[in-house]
Amino acid sequence: MALKGVKVLELVGLAPAPFCGMILSDFGATVTRIDKISQNPMDTLKDGKRNIALNLKQSEGRKIVRELCKKSDVLIEPYRPGIMEKLQLGPDILMKENPKLIYARLTGFGQSGPLAQRAGHDINYLALSGVLSFLGRKGEKPTAPVNLLADFAGGGLLCAFGILAALLARQKTGRGQIVDSAMVEGAAYVASFLTRSQTLPIWGKGRGENMLDTGSFFYDTYETKDGKFMSVGCLEPQFFDTMVKTLGLEGQLTQSEDNEKGRKVLEETFRRRTQKEWSEIFEKTDSCVFPVLHWTEAPEHPQNRLRNAFVDKKDSSDVVVPNPSPKLSDTPPSSSLLRGERDEWENIQEILNEIDYDVDKIKQLVEKGVVLTTRKGKL
């Protein structure tokens, strides 16, 4: 795999940092998680990672992190600015001990500025990035699109990209560097097309009044007879004409139609058949009309099955998960889910053996509460 041989240390955090680590793991990196507790039921992105729970309030716990960083290529930390410095694990110390270390800091507001120490969540980061003002229908309040844009696209994904860029730069300079990834800035960057297109016909109007934000009746979703939905994205005239013909509306509807009238016609038309019926009707047309699949239905769609878009295995929560994307022809990624969970004690021993801790030393650390494990007392 593309990142085989790259060693990553990931300090436990909320979803953006584990997602960043998951991406690197899926593409071949060896990712070691530093947890706060030995079992974390909220962590759904831990598959394929080695993990060890450490008490970082104890100096010996912090020493383990320092020793691991000496042998790592990347550190991912998701804490507020200053926390790592208080633990004596800041970049000034760790990068002095390992000048090649990529020190990735993933936070909402970044390492500087008046809000750097403030708490926030995806909706707040979207709000301050300006992106949330784009999202929603005409006459309605801004609508947060679950926590995808800031946490994952602008956060975990862009942080992973920053890490890869830093690794590539290291090949030229021989030095590591700090990756300061702020979700506010990441969300704004993801929305570059929107902000740069305000003078174009497709944007520039109020929320919900533009061509690509449901302001046009031919770019929206429509309910079907069975209460499901079809997505319509007929922006180009040729696709619109094909849709109209397929719906049997020739001569009744044009792309320059009044939006309210056009939307009413499509609403009435799509309610006449079920989603399955409309899907079969549009299946062989090139009209940009597709069913809105429930997330549990998506893995079974013929396109997704043929492309192996989802892992042919369920996770511990009995959920089918997506395969890594994009696909690489020579060094393809592999879902970390397929590697499954390893035995906790095997993980602990393997990780600490790499920094020359023997079994007796490890058992001492467990007894002292430095290394946390559910098997304490059974060793």
Domain at 14, CATH number: 3.40.50.10540
Q: How far apart are CA 11 and CA 41, in angstroms?
A: 16
Same domain, 46 and 165: yes
Closest of 98, 80, 87 to residue 7, by C-alpha: 98
Q: Which of 250, 271, 292 is the last residue of a domain?
A: 292
Residue appearing with tokens 């030393």: 361
Q: Are 252 and 264 in contact (CB under 8 A)?
A: no
pLDDT at 91: 98
Q: How far apart are CA 158 and CA 262, in angstroms?
A: 39
Q: How far apart are CA 52 and CA 379, in angstroms?
A: 16
In a domain, 300, yes or no: no
pLDDT at 148: 95
Range of the domain at 115: 7-191+342-372
Catalytic residues: 121, 151
Same domain, 103 and 177: yes
3-state SS, one letter per residue, for the chain: CCCCCCEEEEECCCCHHHHHHHHHHHCCCEEEEEECCCCCCCCCCCCCCEEEEECCCCHHHHHHHHHHHHCCCEEEECCCCCHHHHCCCCHHHHHHHCCCCEEEEEECCCCCCCCCCCCCCHHHHHHHHCCHHHCCCCCCCCCCCCCCHHHHHHHHHHHHHHHHHHHHHHHHHCCCCEEEEEHHHHHHHHCHHHHHCCCCCCCCCCCCCCCCCCCCCCEEEEECCCCCEEEEECCCHHHHHHHHHHHCCCCCCCCCCCHHHHHHHHHHHHCCCCHHHHHHHHCCCCCCEEECCCCCCHHHCHHHHHCCCEEEEECCCCCEEECCCCCCCCCCCCCHHHHCCCCHHHHHHHHHHCCCCCHHHHHHHHHCCCEECCCCCCC
Residue 314 in this model has a pLDDT that exceeds 70:
no
Residue 315 in this model has a pLDDT that exceeds 70:
no
b/e per residue, 111-137, with b = 16+ CB within 10 A? eeeeeeeeebebbbbbbbbebbebbbe
State the pairing for strand pair 102-107/178-182.
parallel
Find the angle CA(189)-CA(193)-CA(194) to the nearest 5 degrees. 95
Q: Give the mean pLDDT of 305-333.
A: 88
In a domain, 333, yes or no: no
Q: How many CA atoms lie within 13 A of 152 on its CB side?
A: 10
pLDDT at 318: 72
End-to-end CA distance of the chain: 36
Closest of 72, 142, 134 to residue 101, by C-alpha: 72
Residue 60 in this model has a pLDDT that exceeds 80:
yes
Instruction: Name the pLDDT band for 39 (thresholds 50, 70, 90).
Output: low
Same domain, 34 and 132: yes
pLDDT at 341: 72
pLDDT at 342: 76
Q: Which of 257, 277, 292 is the last residue of a domain?
A: 292
Amino acid at 363: K
In a domain, 239, yes or no: yes
Mean pLDDT of the chain: 94
Q: How far apart are CA 52 and CA 366, in angstroms?
A: 11
Residue 6 in this model has a pLDDT that exceeds 70:
yes
Same domain, 160 and 81: yes
Instruction: Name the pLDDT band for 235 (thresholds 50, 70, 90).
Output: very high
What digits encode the pLDDT tens for the residues 328-366?
A: 999 999 998 888 677 889 999 999 999 999 999 999 999
Instruction: Name the pLDDT band for 46 (thresholds 50, 70, 90).
Output: confident
Same domain, 151 and 233: no
Q: Which of 292, 325, 352 is the last residue of a domain?
A: 292
Same domain, 141 and 229: no
Q: Give the mean pLDDT of 217-228.
A: 98
3-state SS, one letter per residue, for 145-177: CCCCHHHHHHHHHHHHHHHHHHHHHHHHHCCCC
Residue 129 in this model has a pLDDT that exceeds 80:
yes
Percentage with pLDDT > 90 across the chain: 85
What digits encode the pLDDT tens for the residues 61-108?
A: 999 999 999 999 999 999 999 999 999 999 999 999 999 999 999 999
Same domain, 83 and 149: yes
Q: How far apart are CA 72 and CA 4, in angstroms?
A: 13
State the pairing for strand pair 289-291/229-233.
antiparallel
Same domain, 15 and 98: yes
Number of domains in the chain: 2
* Phi, psi (degrees; rounded to nearest 5) at 259: -60, -45
Q: How far apart are CA 300 and CA 307, in angstroms?
A: 11
Q: How far apart are CA 27 and CA 246, in angstroms?
A: 43
CATH number of the domain encompassing residue 230: 3.30.1540.10
Same domain, 150 and 272: no
pLDDT at 336: 85
What digits encode the pLDDT tens for the residues 147-205?
A: 999 999 999 999 999 999 999 999 999 999 999 999 999 999 999 999 999 998 889 89
In a domain, 174, yes or no: yes
pLDDT at 379: 54
Q: Are 352 and 52 in contact (CB under 8 A)?
A: yes
Q: Would you tell me how many other CB atoms lie within 10 Å of the CB of residue 23?
A: 25
Same domain, 164 and 37: yes
In a domain, 257, yes or no: yes
pTM, entire model = 0.93
Same domain, 106 and 243: no
